[in-house]
Amino acid sequence: MPRLLTVILNWRTPDMTLRACEAALREMAGLEGAITIVDNASGDGSFEAMQAGVTARGWDRGAVPVQVLQSGRNGGFGAGNNFGIRAGLPGDVRPDYVYILNSDAFPDPGAIRALLDHLETHPATGFAGSYIHGDDGAPHRTAFRFPTLWSELEGAARFGPISRLLRRHIVAQPIPQATTRVDWLAGASLMMRREVLDRIGLFDETFFLYFEETDLCLRAARAGWPTDYVRGSEVTHIGSVSTGMKTWSRIPQFWLDSRRHYFTKNHGHIYAAVATLAHVAGGVLWRLRLLVQRKDRGDPPHFLRDLIVHSLRRVGQRDPG
């Protein structure tokens, strides 16, 4: 039987993280593996609360044991998950698969087994992810194409003729109705073949938040390991609980840093600069339309200005990593 390590990253949501763990435990019944909860240096008592919760429920002594680890620093999504992956299964046992589950995501019946079965029966597939829906049942777009300079133009312009012309570059794909191959998937519920991680490495910890799963799937694809969207695996996801994305009043520096690092690392400095110019061009077109049409702005306040300033500040600098 294949061995599965589930990693759940916590940042100041201990009660919700334990709920996610409970759902994962239910879905891992009969499987060989363990669950590791990583607290990303929350500093609010989360670590102690989760340790106490796991012990009180007896999860640390179950058939699928649960451990709670302290990363010691808030290095972001990739760093926290890497900490859990490196810890491995109890007793230094090597997992065959690693499953990343958000602390605000709850696997529906059969969700984890569907991903595992898919990877077991498709040995050429590197990663597999779930159909994600909200707690209201509304489906979430989580299947994507890799970003390009053309997708930057299309996404910023939000203009029908441009979108039709660049339809093969639109990042967010329509929600698949069946299992299919995609470029990359959101990391809320993502299972990865450990063999692939051994070959390409873990998450790039230069990304604090956002673009890290995009980069990981791109590295896997370039190494010949594609990603599949598994429609039969369904997961309920609340979304943005830890990041506060839905209430951003300004685009965070870490998002701008992650975007730039993604393009620079994978396509080079010139490409990254042109991608930013394409985004600015599309953004200007969009804002001209807003002068004559009543539409939701769609971006946090000052987004375009912040993007330009961030790009100009980094001219001539090299990204780490």
- 12 domain residue, yes or no: yes
User: What pLDDT, on the 0 to 100 scale, is given for residue 218?
Assistant: 98
Burial class from Cβ neighbours inside 10 Å (0-12, 13-18, 19+) for residue 213 reads buried
Is 30 inside a domain boundary? Answer: yes
Does 197 share its domain with 272? no
Stated pTM of the model? 0.94
Q: Which of 188, 214, 244 is the last residue of a domain?
A: 244
pLDDT at 141: 95
CATH of the domain at 131: 3.90.550.10
**Together in a domain, 236 and 255:** no
Within-domain flag for 145: no
The percent of residues in the chain predicted with pLDDT above 70, rounded, is 95
Whether 211 is in a domain gets the answer yes
What's the confidence (pLDDT) of residue 315? Answer: 63
* Same domain membership, residue 300 and residue 206: no
Domain that holds residue 30: 3-140+175-244
Model confidence at 2: pLDDT above 80: yes
Helix 212-222 with 253-267: angle, nearest 10 deg: 10
Among 244, 270, 299, residue at a domain's last position: 244
Q: Are residues 205 and 306 in the same domain?
A: no
Among residues 195, 223, 244, the one where a domain terminates is 244
Interval 110-133: pLDDT, tens: 999 999 999 999 999 999 999 999
- What confidence score (pLDDT) does residue 37 get? 98
Residue 264 lies in a domain: yes
Query: Per residue in 220-232, pLDDT tens?
Result: 999 999 999 999 9
Pairing of strands 32-39, 143-144: unpaired
Q: Are residues 23 and 109 in the same domain?
A: yes
pLDDT for the residue numbered 321: 46
35-92 residue pLDDT tens: 999 999 999 999 999 999 999 999 999 999 999 999 999 999 999 999 999 999 999 8
Count CA atoms closer than 13 A to 166's CA, side-chain side. 23
Average pLDDT, the chain: 94
Q: What is the pLDDT of residue 298?
A: 84
Q: Are residues 124 and 209 in the same domain?
A: yes
pLDDT digits (tens, 9 = 90+) for 157-168: 999 999 999 999
Shared-domain flag, residues 257 and 310? yes
Residues 242-283: pLDDT tens digits?
555 556 789 999 999 999 999 999 999 999 999 999 999 999
Domain count, the chain: 2
Tell me, yes or no, whether 182 and 254 share the same domain: no
Note whether residue 82 is domain-resident.
yes
Residues 113 and 156 in one domain: no
**Domain co-membership, 129 together with 32:** yes
Q: What end-to-end distance do the CA atoms of the chain give, in Å?
A: 37
Q: Three-state secondary structure along the chain?
A: CCEEEEEEEECCCHHHHHHHHHHHHHHCCCCEEEEEEEECCCCCCHHHHHHHHHHHHCHHHCCCCEEEEECCCCCCHHHHHHHHHHHCEHHHECCCEEEEECCCEEECCCHHHHHHHHHHHCCCCCEEEEEEECCCCCECCCEECCCCHHHHHHHHHCCHHHHHHCHHHCCECCCCCCCEEECEECCCEEEEEHHHHHHHCCCCCCCCCCCHHHHHHHHHHHCCCCEEEEEEEEEEECCCCCCCHHHCCCCCHHHHHHHHHHHHHHHCHHHHHHHHHHHHHHHHHHHHHHCCCCCCCCCCCCHHHHHHHHHHHCCCCCCCC
Worst-scoring range by mean pLDDT, 29-33, 230-234, 309-313? Answer: 309-313
Check whether residue 63 and residue 197 sit in a common domain. Answer: yes
**Is residue 60 located within the same domain as residue 186?**
yes
